């Protein structure tokens, strides 16, 4: 049985690692926060004090970390995974980061005889906890074949997007549309409320035309329009991803003015104390600023 390492037990990582443990994998885990490590140990995992020690004992290492800098250090730093993994190990980074850093880590791994995959995650922490994540995987075919059975224990939908780096870039394209839709919806719904329109009837009209979208039709009725702004995907994370999108687009000379404007709207929401709310709460932020009653369906 392959020995599996998992680094990063935050909202997403903890659920995914827990599914591996429950489904019989030999798992070692590491995180700078003790509580999720203890929870995984209770499920049968072994705790490792450092990423370097975890790498030395693992055949496949998963990372799920919050920022580009943290991935660069944990995977590529002097005391990181690459420096201590054995030849033939596979590293699977499931974070959402700068794709140019993904490219560099993949090249460094290849030079050491180590396999590399980027497998950023679609869907929310609630899906991760239930083993229902979606993965966008960038990997060589042989690497993908080795990690696919493990991804199947953590998710229900797995897309092999191409070679290393393609998973990360697919995630940025997907999140571009998801986050931009959120901002567009916020402005449209705020406008409808300023006009004094019935919200339910307005949504009924929208959902019968090509103006509708998944955020407004599927997510919002159970989130902000029901008064629930507890985070599934925070305004802070949405701002982080928009920053990655703008910077990645700039690096490839693709103008994305809508993304740039939306990023500033999310930046304003962060600075006014809304960073940890669900990103659907952008409509509440906009309405509060404009003196419009917050839209609710009940």
Residues with catalytic roles: 171
In the chain, what is the greatest distance between 2 CA atoms, to the nearest angstrom?
65
CA–CA dist 15, 29 (Å, integer): 13
Q: How far apart are CA 82 and CA 75, in angstroms?
A: 6
Contact 244, 135 (CB under 8 A): no
> Nearest 10 degrees: CA dihedral of 215, 255, 103, 138?
40
β pairing state of 121-122 and 133-138: antiparallel
**DSSP readout, 186-210?**
HHHHHHHHHTT--HHHHHHHHHTST
Give the number of other Cβ atoms within 10 Å of residue 131's Cβ: 18
């Amino acid at each position: 049985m392959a020995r599996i390492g998992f680094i990063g037990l935050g909202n997403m990582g903890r659920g995914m690692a827990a599914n591996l443990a429950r489904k019989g994998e030999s798992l070692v885990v590491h995180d700078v926060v003790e509580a999720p490590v203890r929870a995984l140990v209770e499920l049968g995992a072994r705790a490792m004090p450092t990423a370097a020690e975890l790498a030395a004992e693992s055949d496949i290492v998963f990372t799920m970390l919050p920022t580009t800098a943290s991935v660069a250090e944990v995977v590529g730093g002097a005391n990181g995974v690459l420096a201590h993994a054995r030849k033939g190990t596979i590293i699977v980074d499931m974070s959402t980061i700068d794709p140019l850093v993904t490219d560099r880590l993949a090249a460094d791994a290849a030079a050491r005889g180590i396999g590399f995959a980027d497998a950023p995650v679609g869907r929310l922490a609630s899906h991760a906890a239930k083993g229902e994540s979606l993965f966008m995987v960038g990997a060589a075919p042989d690497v993908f074949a080795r990690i696919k059975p493990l991804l199947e224990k953590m998710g229900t939908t797995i897309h092999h997007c191409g070679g290393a780096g393609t998973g990360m870039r697919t995630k940025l394209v997907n999140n571009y549309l998801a986050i931009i839709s959120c901002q567009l919806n916020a402005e449209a719904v705020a406008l409808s409320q300023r006009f004094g329109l019935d919200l339910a009837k307005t949504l009924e009209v929208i959902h019968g035309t090509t103006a509708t979208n998944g955020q407004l039709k599927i997510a919002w009725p159970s989130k902000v329009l029901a008064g629930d702004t507890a985070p599934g995907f925070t305004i802070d994370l949405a701002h982080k991803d928009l920053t990655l999108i703008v910077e990645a687009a700039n690096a490839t000379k693709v103008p994305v003015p809508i993304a740039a404007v939306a990023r500033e709207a999310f930046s304003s929401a962060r600075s006014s104390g809304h960073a940890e709310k669900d990103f659907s709460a952008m409509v509440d932020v906009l309405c509060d600023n404009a003196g419009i009653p917050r839209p609710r369906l009940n």
